[in-house]
Structures are given as C-alpha cells and as structure tokens.
Structure 1
Amino acid sequence: MSALVAHCSCPDAETAARIARVLVEERLAACVQTLPGMVSTYRWQGAVQQESEVLLLIKTTRERFDALKARLPDLHPYETPELIALDAVDGLGAYLDWIAAATSRQ
C-alpha cells in the first residue's frame, strides 16, 4: 500500500466541506482535513490573481488516486481544479494501515 496526501484548493468552506464529505463517503479518501484562511496568488488566463481559498489535505492511496482524480472535476466548481499528490514516504504503521482500510472498496 502506498499512501498519498493530495492538495486541493476550494473557493469557500461550503464547497470544501461538501467535497471532503463525498470523498470520504465514496472511500476515495480516508480523511480530508480542511484548512481555511489560505490566500492563493496565481496566474490565470494571462493575469495575476489573488483569492481567499480553503485547502483540502486528502489522505488516500495510490490505488484509489485515479478514481479520486476522475471524480474531483464533477464535484469542483473550478474550470481547472488543483489536485496534486505527494507520496507519504513514511508514517505510523497503524495510521497507514487505517488509510488503506478506509479507502478499500470492500
């Protein structure tokens, strides 16, 4: 099992909460942490933008990531949602086992 932590920015707390709940309910994530108060500065369509956003930290597995990647655009209001996965190279064994169990398709 290979654990991942994925980042996804959302426009507001309501959107973030809805996406987090669906990802956990559908076993695409074991846990989603919602971090409000983020400000993103980025270039979009030729202009520099600055917006308040809410960051999701999504705990999942490499095995479930393709399904999460396919599902996110249906849930997200952005034209191009952020979804970046980082390998969890180490961690408490029991926690990593829980991620695997919580995302298994049973």
Structure 2
Amino acid sequence: MSALIWSPFADPDQARAVAKALLEEKLIACANIVPCVVSIFEWQGEISEAAEVGVLFKTHADLLDDAVARIEQLHPYESPAIIGWQGKSVGVATGEWLARLSGGA
C-alpha cells in the first residue's frame, strides 16, 4: 500500500538534504520538491505569511511512521508541519515500485 507525506521547508537546500537522507535510508522512493509555496498560517497567536518549499514524499505504508519520525528529526523547523497518510488507491506500477521499499514485490 502506498503512503504520502507532506512537509514545507524554508528553502530548496533544506528540502533536498532531507529528501536525500530519506532516500539513502530507504524510507522513501521519491520526493517531489515544489519550489514555491505560499504558506499563510497562525503561529504563536499571530497570522503570518511565508514563502516556503513544499515536499511530497512517496513511500510504502509500512514505512510511513518511520519516515515521518525521521523527517521530524531532520527538519530544521522548531515545530515542523509533517502530515502523512496512506493511499487507498495506487497505480500498479507505482504500487510495485513502493512495495520494493518494504521488501515486497
């Protein structure tokens, strides 16, 4: 089963470093780095806006919790937004590709 994780970063270098670490550790199969995300958020009682870099990490559902925990360890933000969820539908080729991460297929 597939899983996705979304997390914003301050800049492309931070995003790339975390993505490469997770790839090397075999916790994800791919990371899509979205170069310009405008985030509007409430933080410490104030509404703020920031330009960030979004990352969509692709993994197998068996690795989801470990990947989220590792992103949290590596993320440079004090309180990073990291959201992971299992995909209920996946293309055959993508499912096979992600299954190889967890020792399947």
| Whole-Å separation in 1 of the counterparts to 2:17 and 2:84 | 20
72 and 41 in structure 1: CA distance in 2 versus 1, 3 angstrom threshold:
same
Cα-to-partner distance string for 1:64-93 (whole Å, 9 max, x where unaligned): 111112211221111111111233221211
Q: Which residue identity lines up with residue 58 of structure 1 in the other structure?
A: F
Structure 1: 5+ residue runs without aligned partners? none
Structure 2: 5+ residue runs without aligned partners? none
What is the TM-score with the length of structure 2 in the denominator? 0.91
Cα-to-partner distance string for 1:20-46 (whole Å, 9 max, x where unaligned): 111111111111110011110000001
Runs of 4+ in 1 over 6 A off after TM superposition: none
Alpha-carbon contact 1:4-1:61 (below 8 Å) kept? yes
RMSD: 1.5
What is the TM-score with the length of structure 1 in the denominator? 0.90
**Identity across matched positions, percent:** 33
Aligned length: 104
Secondary structure of 1:60's counterpart equals strand
**Structure 2 partner of 1:71:** 70
Q: Which residue identity lines up with residue 20 of structure 2 in the other structure?
A: R
| Whole-Å separation in 2 of the counterparts to 1:48 and 1:68 | 29
